[in-house]
Amino acid sequence: MLNSVAHGIDASFKMTVRKFPEVIEVTVKPVNHMLELARSRSHGLKKAPSKVELPEEERARKDEENKLRAIRRAKQSIRWLVHRLKADHLVTLTYRDNMQDTEQLKRDFDQFRRLMLARYPDWKYVAAREQQERGAWHLHLAVQGRQDIKYMRTCWYKVLGCLGATGKDVMGQVDVVGPRKRFGQPKGTWKSAKLASYLTKYLDKSFNMLEHSSKRYWASKGAPKPEVVQHWLGSQNITEMIKDAFDIAMLHGLEDFPAQIMQSRDRTLLWLSGARNLRLSFSNSFDLAE
């Protein structure tokens, strides 16, 4: 029997299911009843934080915590965007010169994007930047399906001012990057989870180098948003919570294995993700508490 309850007041844990076209993500955390009550009474309005002058050491610690939190949010946003797009191919735009100007990178990509959309109005992407050891920036693009690489190169060469150039006069390149393949197996397409992980791999490293207000990734608009479903769990302990979460997630279409699982150090926070099988999922309107 599934340990799902009708209302949060009787729940021990809050479970959130996000259903992307090909992936399901689940988060489970303990219910903070006072916080839930405050949210319900405030109707989503947030009180303006009061400014308190902190000692230098405490301020440095807070700044580091805020940076780590911002990195986690950026990684999560990129991951969700890749899932929404059903991205399965990776394209990289590079510079031959040691181009270290982030504003120039932004302008170049905007021009490249406009050229792509001129021929392919429905072209969708998630772009994340990475800085090489020498300091030069390049861009990774998560896209869906096979790309017109010849036209992509024409666009990028035009942006760099080297259209028609050959050899050493070519100022940059467009490369298709495939996932690592096992020995003897043909190169395939990316799974969106691994592709998102690749895009965010160096986000921590570049975070300190970027302007605080500058965006660290770009994405096209129009990708379908995930369906979000919440459940309140009456689980009495951590072991029971994990079992309940898996059982409910599988009703939503999560394939049992392989699934990615992570827990907080105290084991009270659970995150799991796996492929979505539409044939396994029940109706979106089912009520587990009935």
Weakest-pLDDT range from 148-162, 202-216, 273-287: 202-216
At residue 177, the pLDDT reads: 82
Structural tokens at position 179: 């996932």
pLDDT for 101 beyond 80:
yes
At residue 59, the pLDDT reads: 78
pLDDT for 39 beyond 80:
no
Q: Which residue has the higher pLDDT, 35 or 138?
A: 138
3-class SS of residue 96:
coil
What average pLDDT does the structure give for the chain?
A: 83
Q: Which residue has the higher pLDDT, 91 or 208?
A: 91
Residue entry with tokens 């043909």: 186
pLDDT for 80 beyond 50:
yes
pLDDT for 118 beyond 60:
yes
pTM for this model (two decimals)? 0.82
At residue 190, the pLDDT reads: 87
- The full set of domain ranges for the chain reads 88-189
Average pLDDT over residues 28-56: 65
Residue 4 pLDDT class (50, 70, 90 cuts): low
- pLDDT tens across 209-218, in order? 555 445 778 9
How far apart are alpha carbons 82 and 191 in whole angstroms? 10
Q: What type of residue is 276?
A: R
* 170 and 133 Cβ atoms separated by less than 8 Å: no
How far apart are alpha carbons 126 and 87 in whole angstroms? 8
Q: Where do the H-state alpha helices sit in 86-148? A: 102-119
Average pLDDT over residues 270-282: 82
At residue 37, the pLDDT reads: 54
At residue 213, the pLDDT reads: 47
CA angle 272, 11, 80 (to 5 degrees): 30
At residue 148, the pLDDT reads: 95
How far apart are alpha carbons 108 and 160 in whole angstroms? 8
Residue 27 pLDDT class (50, 70, 90 cuts): very high
Residue 112 pLDDT class (50, 70, 90 cuts): very high
Weakest-pLDDT range from 67-81, 127-141, 272-286: 272-286
pLDDT for 170 beyond 70:
yes
Q: Which residue has the higher pLDDT, 207 or 92?
A: 92
Average pLDDT over residues 42-58: 64
Structural tokens at position 176: 């298709």
- pLDDT tens across 132-148, in order? 888 899 999 999 999 99
Give the single-character DSSP code of 21: S
What angle in degrees, to the nearest 10, is found between the helix axes of 149-160 and 102-119?
Answer: 140
The topology under which CATH files domain 88-189 is: Alpha-Beta Plaits (3.30.70)
